[in-house]
Amino acid sequence: MENKETGIDASFIPRILAFFCSWCSYTGSDGAGTARLKMPPTTTLIRTMCSGRIDPYFLIVAFFRGADGVWVSGCHPGDCHYNKGNYFTRRRYAFLTTMFDSLGLETKRLLLSWISASEGHKFQHMTTEFTNRIQELGPNKARTSVFL
């Protein structure tokens, strides 16, 4: 049901798929849980040892199989548990958003963040912000495409 003023579909609950590195980001998100921080329950986390494990293909699969938002998070550059994994993550993500942009696909549905193990609040904040952003964008059209 679309709100006539804002155009936002209030019955639409964003589904966000997030790929988080185990050492920093996932631990940080865990911290948010322990501290009972409140945030919309829209994000499903997939844990990889390093954000450098994340193949841009995962993000493409997530997007076209219908995730409304796709989120990658790792350790801050310079702090990667495996020294350089996240430098590649940064390159791959930059490449993917550029690719999406040139293909007219909504880059706002992609997010890259650096969340450390102690940044539970950052995780809470970003989950809320990203959810709101996706809420405004509405459901991903790829959710209902036939010829993909």
Partner 1 sequence: MAQHTFAHINKGYDETITFLLKHMLDTGRVEAVFCLVRGEDNSVSYSLISDADQLENAVPFFPAMPGNAGKALSRFTMKGASPAPVAAVLRPCELRAFVEIVKREQGSRENMILISSTCGGVYPLRDVTENDNEDVIRKYNGNLSARTTESMTRDACRICEKFEPVGADITFYIAGKTELESSCQIMVSGENMKEIASAAGFTADGDGKKGEEIEEIRKNRHITREQYYSTQPMDQPGVEGLMEILGKCVGCRGCSNVCPICYCETCFFRTAKAEHTNFLSIKEIEKRGAIKLPPLLTLFHLGRMTHMAHSCVGCGMCSDVCPVRIPVGPLFQKVGEAADLLFDYEPGRNIEELPPLSTFQIEELETYGE
Interacting residues toward partner 1 by CB under 8 A: 55-57, 60-61, 64-66, 77-78, 84, 87-88, 90-99, 101-106, 111-114, 126, 140-148
The 3-state secondary structure of 54-88 reads CCHHHHHHHHHCCCCEEEEEECCCCCCCCCCHHHH
CB contact at 8 A, 50 and 41: no
Q: Which is nearer to partner 1, 36 or 56 (CB)?
A: 56
Task: Output 1 or 103, the one with its CB closest to partner 1.
Answer: 103
Least distance (Å) from partner 1 to the CB of residue 5? Answer: 25
- Backbone torsions φ then ψ of 117, nearest 5 degrees: -60, -25
Q: Which is nearer to partner 1, 5 or 115 (CB)?
A: 115
